[in-house]
Amino acid sequence: MDVIPGRRSVASPYRALLSLFEDRLFLPDLNPSYYHLLGLALSVLYLYARAPGLKIALIVVVLLADWFDGATARRYHRVRRAGYITDVVTDRASEAFLFAAEAGTVLGQIFFLLWMVNALLTFYSVYSNKHTSLPLRFVYIVGLIARGWGIGN
Amino acid sequence: MSSTLTHAASASWIAVTSAQVCPHETSYIVAALISASILDVDHLVFMIRDRAMYRRLGYQGNLHHARSVFHEMIGLLLAGGVSGVLFLFDRKLAHVVFVAFAVHVIQDWVLGKSHPLNPVDLTAVQFFALTFRQKVVIDLLMLLMFGALWTLYLVGGQ
């Protein structure tokens, strides 16, 4: 039986908001792994990014790719447990590169430790069949933008 | 699944250049090469242990069984832990070791069949259904590309 871990109720409003846009998106009938590959490649590229603007742009595209892979799978009825696992391990790998790149800063070090917690939560998600993860990249990008605007400096 | 040589060339180049290691800092380069390729030792262990099965079924298309949990997310987590300890002594070394190891793991996920959440979940995952010939072509192209990038890196730094 192909059981896909369900989302927690706390994620429902966010999911509902995403689905509003998702229905209007143009999504080609692609293998969602192309989006995974794009997200991973950009996360590796992030290791070389120095300008804050470029860093923010890269994370935004990585997050969009993460959204599109799931949206494509849902639109074309390709939602499978293997696809779910591909998605979550791609997310963890992407976070690993993003936060390893920032390990020179205190914020990066904290997020690298949180990435390790998130990786453990991935195991818990498949064990309990209840998707549990910390939205680290979303929070991190907010931190980057805040730092760019001089908030908290 | 890439060859060990391709892993060594590509993952170590990414690790070394992203950490801004200079070509004369040979200790970091050696650390990157070791971290990028040491993981493939576990293929050998499984291939020797299960040699009867491989003699019967052949290696082609069955090598994803010849990998331990170190090739999966657990390996990535352990590499994170080891790098965390290294970070206390040498930040550049920690970066080089983690990135080289992580790139190797991810290349194998993307190009082959894997069980990323082994041992908790043994679902087999395959990003792309590549044929053996396609994998060989990708491997050769990567080896050529990163061979050229290594040459540029080493020549450019002198």
Predicted pLDDT of residue B13: 97
Predicted pLDDT of residue A56: 93
Interchain proximity B125–A40, CB inside 8 Å: no
User: Who has greater pLDDT, A4 or B2?
Assistant: A4
Instruction: Calculate what percentage of chain B has a pLDDT beyond 70.
Output: 94
> What's the rounded mean pLDDT across residues B74-93?
96
Interchain proximity A119–B80, CB inside 8 Å: yes
Let me know if residue B97 belongs to a domain. yes
Taking an 8 Å Cβ-Cβ cutoff, which residues of chain B contact chain A? 14, 17-18, 73, 76-77, 80-81, 83-84, 87, 91, 94-95, 98-99, 102-103, 105-106, 109-110, 116-117, 120-121, 123-128
- A9 min Cα distance to partner chain B (Å): 24
Interchain proximity B73–A40, CB inside 8 Å: no
Let me know if residue B154 belongs to a domain. no
Answer positive or negative: Cα dihedral of B67, B13, A35, A135. positive
The residue written with tokens 């079924």 in the block is B57
* Domain of B11, in residue numbers: 4-148
How far apart are alpha carbons B78 and B38 in whole angstroms?
14
Mutate to test the interface with A, among B115, B123, B126, B142 (most CBs of A within 10 A): B123
From the CB of residue A1, how many other CB atoms can be counted at a distance below 10 Å?
3
Interchain proximity A85–B84, CB inside 8 Å: no
From the CB of residue B152, how many other CB atoms can be counted at a distance below 10 Å?
11
- B142 min Cα distance to partner chain A (Å): 14
Residue A137 has pLDDT above 70, yes or no: yes
Contacts of B96 in chain A (CB under 8 A): none
User: Who has greater pLDDT, A88 or A21?
Assistant: A88
Let me know if residue B158 belongs to a domain. no
What does the DSSP 8-state code read for residue A132? -
Let me know if residue B153 belongs to a domain. no
Contacts of A133 in chain B (CB under 8 A): none
User: Residue A99's pLDDT band (boundaries 50, 70, 90)?
Assistant: very high
> What's the rounded mean pLDDT across residues B16-28?
96
Let me know if residue B49 belongs to a domain. yes
> What's the rounded mean pLDDT across residues A89-109?
95
Residue A135 has pLDDT above 80, yes or no: yes
A86, A101, A104 member nearest B91 (Cβ)? A104
Whole-number Cα distances in Å, A83 to A2, A78, B69: 10, 8, 20
Mutate to test the interface with A, among B20, B64, B77 (most CBs of A within 10 A): B77
Closest CA to B107 of B138, B153, B150, B152: B138
Minimum CA–CA partner of A126 in chain B: B121
Predicted pLDDT of residue B48: 82
Closest CA to B65 of B57, B73, B74: B57
> What's the rounded mean pLDDT across residues B30-40?
95
Predicted pLDDT of residue A64: 95
Answer positive or negative: Cα dihedral of A30, A35, A41, A45. positive
Enter the tokens of residue B133: 């010939």
pTM confidence score: 0.92
Domain count, chain B: 1
User: Who has greater pLDDT, B107 or A12?
Assistant: B107
Predicted pLDDT of residue B64: 65
Let me know if residue B155 belongs to a domain. no
Closest CA to A27 of A60, A80, A65: A65
Cis peptide before B119 (omega within 30 of 0): yes
Minimum CA–CA partner of B92 in chain A: A104
How far apart are alpha carbons A40 and A10 in whole angstroms?
27
- B73 min Cα distance to partner chain A (Å): 7
Chain segment A54-96, per-residue pLDDT in tens: 999 999 999 999 999 999 999 998 889 999 999 999 999 999 9
Run of H or E including A109 = helix A106-128
Which value does ipTM take for this structure? 0.91
What does the DSSP 8-state code read for residue A29? S
Residue B158 has pLDDT above 70, yes or no: no
**Sequential DSSP letters for chain B:** ---HHHHHHHHHHHHHHHTT--TT-HHHHHHHHHHHHGGGHHHHHHHHHTHHHHHHH-STTTGGGS--GGGSHHHHHHHHHHHHHHHTT-HHHHHHHHHHHHHHHHHHHHHSEE-TTTTT----EESS---HHHHHHHHHHHHHHHHHHHHHHHHHT-
**Any bridge partners for residue B113, and if so which?**
B126
Predicted pLDDT of residue B103: 97
Predicted pLDDT of residue A149: 73
Let me know if residue B85 belongs to a domain. yes
- The SS3 of residue A39 is helix
Let me know if residue B112 belongs to a domain. yes
Predicted pLDDT of residue A14: 78
How far apart are alpha carbons A140 and B74 in whole angstroms?
24
> What's the rounded mean pLDDT across residues A101-126?
94
Contacts of B149 in chain A (CB under 8 A): none
A44, A85, A115 member nearest B121 (Cβ)? A85
Contact B75, B101 (CB under 8 A): yes
Residue B52 has pLDDT above 90, yes or no: no
Phi-psi region of B130 (alpha: psi -120 to 50; beta: other; left: phi over 0): beta
> How many interchain CB pairs under 8 A, A with B?
84
User: Residue B101's pLDDT band (boundaries 50, 70, 90)?
Assistant: very high
> What's the rounded mean pLDDT across residues A117-129?
95
Predicted pLDDT of residue A152: 52
